[in-house]
Amino acid sequence: MDKEPNILRTENRKIRLSVLIFVIGNILFLFICVAMVLYGGYCVSKLFSHSYLKGWEKFAVLAGLGGLVLFFQILTQFFETHQIPKDYEEINESNRPDLIAIINGLKSRMGITKNIRVFLTDECTASVFVLPDIQNIFRNPERYLSIGKPLVESLTQAELKAVLSHELAHFSQLSVKETSRAVSIGLFAKSFLSEKINYEAKYGPGNITQTLMILYYYYLDSLCRFIKRHYARLSDELEFEADQMAIRFVKPQTLCDALLHILRMNHIAEIPEQIMMRIKAMGATLPPDMSINKGSAPQAKIKLHLDHRKHIVPWTDFVYSLLLNGKDIGEGHLLKGFNAEVDMPPDVYTFGISTFIDTLDSKPYTFEVEAGYAYHVELDYKYNIFKSKYTVFCSGMTVLKTQSL
C-alpha cells in the first residue's frame, strides 16, 4: 500500500480527535459557566433574607459574573457567521466566458460534476477556500475557487490550466473537510484570543473573571498548537496528492513552470523546500537559471536557547512562537526550555515572541549577523509583579566563527 494514504489517514484522525476535544471542552466550560451563574444567583437571592453576604458567598457572586461573561463570549463566537469578502468578484459565463470555459472543460475531463462558484481576487495566488464558520465542524461546508487576477493576466494559457487543474483536484479530496474544520477552529480561537477579549479579561468584573478566561485561553491555545502541527502535515500531503491528480491531465513540466512563475510573481527568490519536493515528486525538472540548493547563498547560523525551568515560577508552562523579524521559526516553552536553530541570510534581526496569552510578552532584542558565523542567543524570563506579566528577554549572545563548507 502506498505511504501517502496512510499519512493522510493518520493526520485526519488527529484532527478529528482535536475536533472532539474542542467540542467536549467547550461543553465543559459552558457547564462550568452555567453552574457559576446559578450558584452566584442563589447567593444574591439570599440578600433578601440576610443583611450581608459571607466572604465565600461574595466570591460566588463574582464567579457568577465571570461565568456569565465567558458564557456569552463563547455563544457569540459560536453563532457568528462570515461572508465572502466584498472585494472578491464572482465570475460566470456572462462576465468571464473565457475562464469559465477553461474551468468547465477541466471539470469535464476530471469527472467533477459539482457546481463550483468561482471568484477573482487581487491576490497573486489561486486557492480553494471555505467560509470559516465554527458550524463547519458539524457539516460539510461549501467550497469555493478563487483565482488571482495577476495569474490570469501573466500566466500562459497552459500554465493557467495547470494551476486550475491542481485547484480543481482539491474538490475531489475527502480530506478537505478535515482541513476546513481545522481552519474553523483556528479562526474561532484567534477571534476569542484577540486583544479585545484580553482587555475584557483583564479589566472585567472581578479577578475570578480573569482567571476563568485565562484558563479558557490556555485550553484554546494548547489545542490550536496541536491542530496547527497536524494541519500543516495534512495540508502538505493534500498538495502532493492534488499535484498527482493534476498531472493526469496536464504535463508535469507545465505545472512546475507555473509554480515557479507564481514564485517569481510573489518576489520569492529561493524555492521553498516543500515546492522543491512537490516538483521532484511530479517528475519535472528545474530550469538551469533556478537555484536548486536553498542553502547555496551565504548563511549565518542562529541558535535560540532557554534552559529547562530556570526559575521556580511559573508552575504551569507557557507556550509561544519564536519570531525573527516577525517570521515564526519555532516553538518556545518557559518550563521545558527549548533549542531553536535556523540558518538565515546576513541581515539585522529582531527577536520577539507571538502569543495569545495576556500575561506573557517579550523584550525586543536586535542584532546583526554575518555569513560564516554562528550566533548563540541565550534567553531568560522574569516576572513583573506590577504588570502581572512574564517577560522573555535576551540575557546574552555568543558569536563563533563556523567552518566554511
Q: What is the CATH number of the domain that holds 171?
A: 3.30.2010.10
DSSP conformational letter for 367? E
Predicted confidence (pLDDT) per residue in 217-231, tens digit: 778 877 877 887 777
The grid cell for 1 is: 500500500
List all residues 6 or more positions away from 49 whose beta carbon is below 8 Å from its beta carbon.
none
Q: Is residue 292 part of a domain?
A: no
pTM of the predicted model, to two decimals?
0.67
Q: Is residue 227 part of a domain?
A: no
Q: Mean pLDDT over residues 178-194, rounded?
A: 73
Q: Beta-carbon neighbour count of residue 202 at 10 Å?
A: 14
Distance CA 85, CA 232 (A): 25
Q: Which contacts qualify for 55-62: CB closer than 8 Å, 24 or more apart? A: 59/208, 60/36, 62/205, 62/206, 62/207, 62/208, 62/209
Where are any strands of DSSP class E within 123-234? 126-129, 144-148
pLDDT of residue 292: 41
Structure-model confidence comparison of residues 44 and 345, the more confident one: 345
Domain boundary among 203, 222, 241: 222
Burial annotation 78-106 (CB, 10 A radius, 16+ → b, else e): eeeeeeeeeebeebeeeebeebeebbeeb
Based on the domain organization, do 73 and 102 belong to the same domain?
no
- Residue 202 banded pLDDT, cuts 50, 70, 90: very low
Give the whole-number percent of the chain exceeding pLDDT 70: 83
Predicted confidence (pLDDT) per residue in 137-158, tens digit: 887 788 899 999 999 999 999 9
Q: Is residue 375 part of a domain?
A: yes
Give the whole-number percent of the chain exceeding pLDDT 90: 25
Q: Beta-carbon neighbour count of residue 21 at 10 Å?
A: 16
pLDDT of residue 194: 58
- Residue 289 banded pLDDT, cuts 50, 70, 90: low
Based on the domain organization, do 177 and 151 belong to the same domain?
yes
Q: What angle do CA 18, 22, 27 make, to 5 degrees?
A: 150
pLDDT of residue 197: 46
Structure-model confidence comparison of residues 358 and 247, the more confident one: 247
Based on the domain organization, do 47 and 164 belong to the same domain?
no
Q: Is residue 62 part of a domain?
A: yes
Based on the domain organization, do 240 and 194 belong to the same domain?
no
Residue 111 has pLDDT above 50, yes or no: yes
- Residue 55 banded pLDDT, cuts 50, 70, 90: low
Q: What is the mean pLDDT of the chain?
A: 81
Based on the domain organization, do 211 and 256 belong to the same domain?
no
Q: Mean pLDDT over residues 165-193, rounded?
A: 78
Structure-model confidence comparison of residues 8 and 130, the more confident one: 130
pLDDT of residue 341: 87
pLDDT of residue 328: 82
Distance CA 149, CA 23 (A): 39
Q: Is residue 31 classed exposed, middle or buried when 0-12, 13-18 and 19+ CB atoms within 10 A define those classes?
A: exposed
Q: Of 38-47, 121-130, 387-396, which range is least confident?
A: 38-47
DSSP conformational letter for 298? -
Which run of H or E residues covers position 94? none
DSSP conformational letter for 402? P
Q: Is residue 289 part of a domain?
A: no
Based on the domain organization, do 146 and 246 belong to the same domain?
yes
Q: Is residue 19 part of a domain?
A: yes
At 381, the amino acid letter reads Y
Residue 244 has pLDDT above 90, yes or no: yes
Based on the domain organization, do 246 and 256 belong to the same domain?
yes
Structure-model confidence comparison of residues 36 and 190, the more confident one: 36
Residue 315: which domain range?
A: 300-401
Based on the domain organization, do 277 and 318 belong to the same domain?
no
Q: Mean pLDDT over residues 88-94, rounded?
A: 93
Based on the domain organization, do 276 and 390 belong to the same domain?
no
Q: How many residues does the chain have?
A: 405
Q: Is residue 287 part of a domain?
A: no
pLDDT of residue 168: 95
Based on the domain organization, do 93 and 63 belong to the same domain?
no
Domain count, the chain: 3
Distance CA 19, CA 25 (A): 10
Are 121 and 87 within 8 A, CB to CB? yes
pLDDT of residue 50: 62
Q: At which residue does the C-alpha cell 487576477 appear?
A: 149
Based on the domain organization, do 22 and 167 belong to the same domain?
no
- Residue 163 banded pLDDT, cuts 50, 70, 90: very high
User: At 186, phi and psi to the nearest 5?
Assistant: -60, -45
At 274, the amino acid letter reads Q
Q: At which residue does the C-alpha cell 493526469 appear?
A: 248
Q: Of 64-73, 208-217, 244-253, which range is least confident?
A: 208-217
Q: What is the sign of the dihedral through the CA atoms of 178, 181, 185 and 187?
A: positive
pLDDT of residue 380: 92
Q: What is the sign of the dihedral through the CA atoms of 21, 26, 31 and 33?
A: positive
Q: Is residue 149 part of a domain?
A: yes
Q: How far is CA 274 from the centre of its chain?
A: 17
Based on the domain organization, do 331 and 381 belong to the same domain?
yes
pLDDT of residue 274: 86
Cα–Cα distances in Å, from 28 out to 24, 25, 142?
6, 5, 30
Distance CA 294, CA 312 (A): 42
